[in-house]
Structure 1
Amino acid sequence: MAGLNPHSPIPTELKLHRKSGVLAVTFNDGKAFRFPCEFLRVYSPSAEVRGHEPEQAVLQTGKKNVTITHIEPVGRYAVRLDFSDGHNTGLYSWDLLYEYGLHQETMWQDYLQRLEKSGASREP
């Protein structure tokens, strides 16, 4: 998922729906995904969330009401998202967003199961 594959779909539109807390991303292959801000926050690609190894990943809790406050383009391959809880160190490449879109439902269910298993909550 690192780096941009030259054959990868690229976004033609990113639209933040502030009221619903959703980032809509449309790609040049016609696929479109709607990401809740909470999903993007708990799956931030930053080292502080993901760790440097899979077993170092930090379960994010209490992020239900988190919103995106700013979207910053990074070159022609990614965006940096600023979240209302102050987090802003994750770079979301086009490949990563596309991958997240394809697997969002499974990833979300996995997140909910990990929360339940740890006795944690989405509530702030």
Structure 2
Amino acid sequence: MSGLSPDSARPVEIKLHSVSKKLEISFDDGASFQLPAEYLRVYSPSAEVRGHGVGNETLQTGKMHVAITALEPVGHYALKITFDDGHDSGLYSWAYLYELGVKHDQYWQDYLNRLAAAGALRE
């Protein structure tokens, strides 16, 4: 066993797939994820999306067609992602990207449930 955890796993390869609008990220523990731009956008770690505490989150709607326009490494710990809707204030730590990969199905279903409860749409 490598002794790695999501908190210590580091990316070894990051690819942006423009056509499918997915960010592919492979970690040094062997885990690999393809994260859709829409998913990354609605789960942005920015204060604009997350708010300033539990219960203050802002539901992101109309992000179905959002694309990633730029990726910028931040030190040795995070990735700044710029989206074509102008959003660029979230810093995605390696641990957070790993978490988004591992919990993709759960988080995505939660997002769809929150949209439905709000009577909102992805488009």
TM-score w.r.t. length of structure 2: 0.94
CA offsets, 1:8-46, max 9 Å, x none? 100001100000000000000000000000000000000
Structure 1 vs Structure 2: percent identity of aligned residues?
55
Dislocated runs of 4+, deviation >2 Å: none
Is the partner of 1:54 in helix, strand or coil? coil
Aligned to 1:94: 94
Aligned to 1:36: 36
CA offsets, 1:45-73, max 9 Å, x none? 00000011111000000000000000011
- Unaligned 5+ residue runs, structure 1? none
Matches within 5 A, 1:38-117: 38-117=38-117
Aligned to 1:118: 118
Q: Please give the root-mean-square deviation of Cα atoms over the aligned residues, in Å.
A: 1.3
TM-score w.r.t. length of structure 1: 0.93
Distance in 1 separating the partners of 2:90 and 2:11: 18
- Unaligned 5+ residue runs, structure 2? none
